C-alpha cells in the first residue's frame, strides 16, 4: 500500500484493480461515495479496513487502496468483529450484498448490532444474487421472478432497516445509488458514529434486476421533522411505505463493545491473586 500525503483526495483510496462490475451496476456509486467519504474524513488508507464476504458487491475490497479482506460467504461480520477487537484504532467498513449479509450471514447481523461494535456495515441491496446469476434473495419482493422462483417468489421480503432497528443498531440509514451525494454524506456520518452503524443502499443490478426506474420514481427523503433519536418514530418510518425513504432513521449513544471487552481485560490485568488470597483465602 502506498502511504499518501495529506490532504487526501478520493483517488488516494482507489486501488490499481479495475472494478469487474457490469456497466451501470449500482455498486460503482457506493464505491465512489466511499472514496469521497474517506477523503472528507481525511482517514489515511492504512487506518481503514474494508471487509466483505462473497458476491459481486463483496469484491469491493480489491478496488480500495486500504487494508481489505475478501472473506468467506456470509462471514464479513465475524471478520469485522475480530479486526475491531484486535485493532480498535482502525476504521472498519463491512460491505456486501443482501444475500451475503441477510441469507447466509443473517445469523451474525443481529449479534454484531446488539453488541454495538463500532463499525459501519454497508449493504449493497440489489434484491438478487448477482454473482450466481440472479436467484431471488431475502430482500426480493413477493412475485419476483428469477431462475430460482420461475413463478414468482411467495416469500415475504426482509426489511433490513427494520431488522437493524430491532436488533439494536445504534445508527440506521438508507441510501440509493442514484443519489451519490447523499450516499457520500451518509457514509461520512456512519463512519463518524460511535457504535454499530448500518446503511442499506438500494443498489440496482443492471444485468439481472434493473430497479433504477422503480427507485427513481419512488425515493423520497425522510421528513425533515423526524427526530432520529426517537426510536418509535424511526420504527414507524421503517415500516413498508408507499415511498422508499432515504436518510438517517435512527441515532443513539451507548457504550461500544470493544471498549467494554477491554474494560474486562483491565480488570483481569489488575487482579492480583496473592492479594485476593490474603484478603479472602
Ligand X SMILES: Cc1ncc(C[n+]2csc(CCOP(=O)(O)OP(=O)(O)O)c2C)c(N)n1
Give the interface with ligand X as residue ranges (CB under 6 A).
54-57, 73, 96-100, 124, 126, 128-132, 137
Three cell numbers written together for 255: 457504550
- CA–CA separation, 173 vs 201, rounded Å? 9
21 binds ligand SF4 (CB under 6 A): yes
**Residue 131: CB minimum distance to ligand X, A:** 4
Site for ligand SF4 in 189-218 (CB under 6 A): 205-208
34 binds ligand SF4 (CB under 6 A): no
Tell me whether strands 244-251 and 171-176 are parallel, antiparallel or unpaired: antiparallel
90 binds ligand SF4 (CB under 6 A): no
Q: Which does 48 bind (CB under 5 to 8 A by kind): ligand SF4, ligand X, none?
A: none
Q: Which does 25 bind (CB under 5 to 8 A by kind): ligand SF4, ligand X, none?
A: ligand SF4
**Residue 178: CB minimum distance to ligand X, A:** 17
CB atoms inside a 10 Å sphere around CB 254: 11
Three cell numbers written together for 107: 445469523
Contact characters 120-159, ligand SF4, x per CB under 6 A: ------x---x-----------------------------
Q: Which does 206 bind (CB under 5 to 8 A by kind): ligand X, ligand SF4, none?
A: ligand SF4
Complex with ligand SF4: residue 27 or 118, whichever CB lies closer: 27
Q: Which does 22 bind (CB under 5 to 8 A by kind): ligand X, ligand SF4, none?
A: ligand SF4
Amino acid at each position: 500500500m502506498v502511504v499518501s500525503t495529506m490532504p487526501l483526495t478520493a483517488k488516494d483510496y482507489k486501488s490499481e484493480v479495475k472494478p469487474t462490475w457490469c456497466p451501470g451496476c449500482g455498486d460503482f456509486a457506493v464505491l465512489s461515495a466511499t472514496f469521497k467519504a474517506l477523503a472528507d474524513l481525511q482517514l489515511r488508507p492504512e487506518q481503514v479496513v474494508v471487509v466483505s464476504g462473497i458476491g459481486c458487491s463483496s469484491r469491493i475490497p480489491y478496488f480500495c487502496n486500504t487494508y481489505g479482506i475478501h472473506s468467506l460467504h456470509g462471514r464479513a461480520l465475524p471478520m469485522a468483529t475480530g479486526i475491531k477487537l484486535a485493532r480498535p484504532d482502525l476504521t472498519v467498513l463491512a460491505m456486501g450484498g443482501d444475500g451475503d449479509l441477510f441469507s447466509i450471514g443473517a445469523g451474525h447481523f443481529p449479534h454484531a448490532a446488539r453488541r454495538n461494535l463500532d463499525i459501519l456495515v454497508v449493504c449493497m441491496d440489489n434484491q438478487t444474487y448477482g454473482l450466481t446469476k440472479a436467484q431471488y434473495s431475502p430482500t426480493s419482493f413477493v412475485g419476483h421472478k428469477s431462475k430460482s422462483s420461475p413463478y414468482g417468489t411467495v416469500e415475504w421480503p426482509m426489511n433490513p432497516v427494520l431488522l437493524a432497528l430491532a436488533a439494536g443498531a445504534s445508527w440506521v440509514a438508507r441510501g440509493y445509488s442514484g443519489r451519490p451525494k447523499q450516499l457520500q454524506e451518509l457514509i461520512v456520518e456512519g463512519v463518524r458514529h460511535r457504535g454499530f452503524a448500518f446503511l442499506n443502499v438500494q443498489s440496482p443490478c443492471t444485468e439481472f434486476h434493473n430497479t433504477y426506474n422503480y427507485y427513481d420514481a419512488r425515493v423520497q427523503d425522510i421528513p425533515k421533522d423526524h427526530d432520529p433519536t426517537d426510536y418509535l418514530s424511526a420504527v414507524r418510518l421503517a415500516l413498508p411505505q408507499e415511498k422508499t425513504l432515504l436518510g438517517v432513521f435512527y441515532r443513539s449513544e451507548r457504550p461500544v463493545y470493544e471498549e467494554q471487552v477491554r474494560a474486562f481485560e483491565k480488570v483481569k490485568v489488575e487482579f492480583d491473586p496473592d492479594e485476593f488470597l490474603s484478603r479472602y483465602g
